[in-house]
Structure 1
Amino acid sequence: MIHLAKSAVLKLWLLLLLLIVISAFLLTTGRLLTPLVAGYRSDVERLLSTALAQPVEIGRLSARWRGLGPELVLQDVSVLAPESGREALRIGRAAIQVALFDSLRSLTVKPRLITLSGLQLLIRRHRDGAVSIGGLEGLGGDRDDAGVGRLFGLPGRVRLTDSDIYWENRLIGAPPVRFPHVEALFLNDGERHRLEATFTTPGGGSARAIGELAGDLGRTGSWSGRFYLNGRNLALADLLNQRLPEAYQIRSGLLDLELWGRWDRTRFSELEGGIALTGLELERVRETEGAELESLSLEHLDGDFRWRRRPDGWLLQADSIDVTRGGSRWPTGRMALRARNGEPGGSRYDGGIDFLRLDDVAAIAAMLPLPER
């Protein structure tokens, strides 16, 4: 029995020694071969073109050893539109960390992490609810950038660093919003995707977002998901002025928020969280002779809320509402508003609130458009 045990231990040590020798050989050989990678630029272009299903051109290619595997470094990368051949997306630098042993086992290149730097990326939600991703060249177009949405189709993990992302929502017809200095991580597993990002907002605010999506993002009604958003010191003037009717202008106002939301088959279905608004100054120019100016000031507003889509409309509920205006603070209270669509004569709204001051109601009413005669 002792002899058998010693024999088994000896075999295990020999196997471990063999694995160490093989690993050392592979690592040493890999380090020696990495300088030769530059000569395989066309092969890497074909590999990426197949993965993205559209042409890819690489300006420069190099490699280095990182940890237990090689890292390919691509510079001045152009992703071309399949039909027109024009540049749809430009990447300043892309680093691909290769999972060495997984690649050897499958005899194909298996990336462990793809890091993209210096991107200017446009994420667009179309009028039909579909989502596409592309370069800024697609700002004036409609669906030319849809093919580049395969960023979510890349295997494993994709990291974005020092990049600018533009968000365009064509459902509301608003111009794109630029979010600079984005740091993000995409985790892809088939049709399941996760996004974690931190970024700055126009006006000097900051935000953190986490999203989980499932389904085909390029097809209307075929994806669902949920998200979390935390924002601090969001400047309302910089974020909203181009999205308000022309007669309205925000002069100042900072917003803190924490939100949780859901999409169901590309439709926004639920939103809840808390907000804190300080120093709001809103102006409206009346469309009458003399251009009379109305203004609304609000020192502070905060509270928690929940909005839910209903089969016949939607329901908004809020509590812990704290309002200060004109140096006077409201009692903390609650409110609710229900919208029903398809009612005779149009939509119907029912609501209630614990407390209202007539002076504040008059100030808000003065900001509303005059009814047409």
Structure 2
Amino acid sequence: MIETTRIVYSLRAALVVLLLMLALGISAVRLFLPQIDHYKTRIVSSISLSIGKPIEIDNMKGSMNGFRPEVVISGLRILDPDSRKTLLRFEQLRAGLNLTEFLLTGRFQPRWVTIRGAKLSIRRTDDGRISIVGMDSGGEMPKWIFGDGQFELLESEVDLQHPGRPASPYHFSSVDIRLLNAGDGHKVAIDLEVSGAHAEAFSMRIDYAGDISMPNCCSGRIYLRTGRLDFGKLLEGFSLNGYSVPAGKGSFRFWGTVKKSAVVDLAGEVVFRQGRLAHRGPDSDSESAELGLSETSAWFLWQELEDGWSLSVRRFLLNLNGKAWPRTDFDFGYRAQVADGSFQKTFSASYLNLTDINRVVVGLRMLPGQHHETLQAFAPQGDVFDLTLGISGSGNTDHPWSVCGRFEEMGFNSRGSYPGVKNLSGTVCGNSDSGSFQVISGKTEITWLSEIRWPIRLERIKGDFRWKRDESEWSLISDRMGLASPDISAQARMALSLPRGEGEPFLDLQVAFENGNVAASYKYLPVNTMTESLVDWLDSAFQSGKLTEGAMLLRGPLSAFPFRAGEGVFETLFHTKDVVLSYHPDWPSITTDELEVRFFQAGISIQGSDATVSGMSVSGFRVNARDLGFDEYLVAEISAEGQISQSLEFVMNTPLAPLYKPLLDYVTIVGSNRVTLRLDVPIIEELDDVLVKGTVDLEKV
């Protein structure tokens, strides 16, 4: 107990002594500080020595900031050593005083510095260094700012000169910067407003180690946050590879890691609304392309990897014209090996709208001339879900690729010899060696303007396709696909071979038809391979009727179609019922119960029986041409029998009527007859007249 009491008394005595010494020290400081103006010359000299430039001050005084002694300097000016012109001016500088060191050594080494009302110009160089303009001949960042202790720049204005905006610097008003330095470690807090950009807030926090005045200097963490910004004003005059932001409002937040002055990972959120993006090509005289943007936002994470980088985008939203995307996730990846030049690129997306992507790429002219025009003409559209893409390679070798995804209502326009399609849905998965895709669609439209005049509208299309590659060719195969339109239904199978080197594409296509509308056959004519006269004839030949069944075989090199020299086989054969056939618009049509139509190679043959024409019974008729591309005439042959009055009615509805009308006005002929008629109908533009031959056998006249 006695020992404990002694310890308590000893501690109490020590505490009293410490308090007494502290009181005496504070009293001494308070007595000294009012006289600090007498040391003005020594302090000015010490500051000049620290920053390496002469200075001038208006006045100086000492005071206590709580228990901390400080020096308050007003009107501090940093001068050019030669011209004595003012390089920088600070309205007020407050510095924490190390009184003992100052009295013993004469050095003014502040523990903390607060500057108010400064106007600074900061330059960021191409190699990433940051400097204060005017601080020394090299423009480097003054090292005393990053010495041990605390540095504050408050209520100041800063101009930032950036390589991407050489014309005019960014101007920041009401800037507050705080640095806490401990050896090689630094913590920085920056809060500012952007002049004229209507920024609600702009804050940055940095925790790093290194000398900021040196290239590749620093490593640490960084955080950046803004309130609402007017990007049009903030980025006025700024351009990156020709891209700029003329208008738009938004905000962003970033978190990142820096190593050796390079960002190694960066995460954040970006929001951009009511904006416009612009792009000007490399030619300074080229017109700037602009694109309106209602809204876009996303969270992202970018990371540097040992052999590449990765970028993850989450909850991406895009709204170009009032129709917003669903929240979408993206992933990008790139890896490369310097030793052998190999690389791997990957991309995945939960959703893509091809219409909007095309609008962005075309609207901003992101592709060079010919590619821009091609994409603009094709105008891809539709939705893609759960897409994954990959490509890899090494040097100049083939670049293997892979793709998987689901597409809905996809399409593109017809251009040149390429067909177009609308509202195609299905799935695809495969790689550069093999794969498959399935098509299951309703209300699909196929357009092939170079071959077919009208769109082919399908109510249903379903098929499974697979592709494969070997050393000599690509193959596209479908064992079964079904089509249904308002005019016909069909089942087909196909095999298409595409040589990888020299050679011709080879197609093996087999199609079965049923439930067709013969009168609609003109919609599907490949008019590019026919003369205009032939097209006109086929347009009006089949006026009505039903296709009951039919088939088509096309097998051979596509460049040799329709295989006049026997390079392949093309045959289409179908049977019809209740057909009204117009073999010539100036001659009466034939109505038949059954009709067989056959296209073989370049020719056509139409045969029928059990038909009628002008009331006469047709025992047989035939329409044929051996080569629709070279024959001058299409030959129609008819054998009919009936009453003479029916034959005369037939004649009076033909171009022959003027020849026989004068006779028939005075003569009445009764009885029966048999008529054989041949018409040579011109199918080339150079010929107009129909050649007519025929015989009439009279009975019981």
Q: What TM bracket, shorter-length normalisation? A: 0.7 to 0.9
Identity %: 24
**Contact preservation (8 Å) 2:254, 2:266:** yes
What is the alpha-carbon distance in structure 1 between the residues aligned to residue 244 and residue 164 of structure 2?
22
1:190 aligns with 2:183: yes
Q: How many residue pairs end up in the alignment?
A: 364
Superposition deviation, residue 54 in structure 1 = 4.3
**Contact preservation (8 Å) 1:126, 1:171:** no
What is the alpha-carbon distance in structure 1 between the residues aligned to residue 14 and residue 354 of structure 2?
85
Alignment partner, residue 624 of structure 2: none
1:244 aligns with 2:243: no
Question: Cα 1:356–1:35, aligned 2, differ >3 Å: closer, same or farther?
Answer: same
Matches within 5 A, 1:12-31: 12-31=11-30
Matches within 5 A, 1:76-91: 76-80=75-79, 87-91=86-90
The amino acid of 1:148's aligned partner reads P
1:308 aligns with 2:303: yes
Alignment partner, residue 145 of structure 1: 139
The amino acid of 1:367's aligned partner reads L
1:367 aligns with 2:364: yes
SS at match of 1:315: strand
Question: Cα 1:81–1:269, aligned 2, differ >3 Å: closer, same or farther?
Answer: farther
What is the alpha-carbon distance in structure 2 between the residues aligned to residue 81 and residue 311 of structure 1?
47
1:261-298 CA-to-partner distances (Å, cap 9, x unmatched) read 1222122322111112221123557899x987743222
Question: Cα 1:102–1:18, aligned 2, differ >3 Å: closer, same or farther?
Answer: farther
Alignment partner, residue 352 of structure 2: 356
**Contact preservation (8 Å) 1:125, 1:171:** no
Question: Cα 1:340–1:78, aligned 2, differ >3 Å: closer, same or farther?
Answer: farther
Superposition deviation, residue 67 in structure 1 = 1.5
**Contact preservation (8 Å) 1:313, 1:341:** yes
Question: Cα 1:280–1:335, aligned 2, differ >3 Å: closer, same or farther?
Answer: same
1:207-233 CA-to-partner distances (Å, cap 9, x unmatched) read 111002212222222322220011110
What is the alpha-carbon distance in structure 1 between the residues aligned to residue 280 and residue 215 of structure 2?
39
Superposition deviation, residue 362 in structure 1 = 2.7
What is the alpha-carbon distance in structure 2 between the residues aligned to residue 124 and residue 171 of structure 1?
12
What is the alpha-carbon distance in structure 2 between the residues aligned to residue 150 and residue 171 of structure 1?
29
Counterpart selection for 2:157 from 148, 153, 164: 164
TM-score of the two chains, using structure 2 as the length reference: 0.46
Alignment partner, residue 229 of structure 2: 234
SS at match of 1:127: coil
Matches within 5 A, 1:340-351: 351=347
User: Bigger relative contact order, structure 1 or 2, given CA contacts below 8 A and separation 6+?
Assistant: 1
SS at match of 2:42: helix
Unmatched tracts of structure 2, length 5 or more: 371-701
1:52-96 CA-to-partner distances (Å, cap 9, x unmatched) read 344443332111222223221011223346788764432221011
Question: Cα 1:214–1:367, aligned 2, differ >3 Å: closer, same or farther?
Answer: same
1:65 aligns with 2:64: yes
What is the alpha-carbon distance in structure 1 between the residues aligned to residue 15 and residue 365 of structure 2?
78
Alignment partner, residue 271 of structure 1: 266
The amino acid of 1:303's aligned partner reads A
Of Structure 1 and Structure 2, which has the larger fraction of its residues in helix?
1
1:244-270 CA-to-partner distances (Å, cap 9, x unmatched) read 269766443212211111222122322
What is the alpha-carbon distance in structure 2 between the residues aligned to residue 63 and residue 226 of structure 1?
37
**Contact preservation (8 Å) 1:68, 1:100:** no
**Contact preservation (8 Å) 1:248, 1:283:** yes
Unmatched tracts of structure 1, length 5 or more: none
The amino acid of 1:353's aligned partner reads A
TM-score of the two chains, using structure 1 as the length reference: 0.82
Larger radius of gyration: 2
Question: Cα 1:126–1:329, aligned 2, differ >3 Å: closer, same or farther?
Answer: same
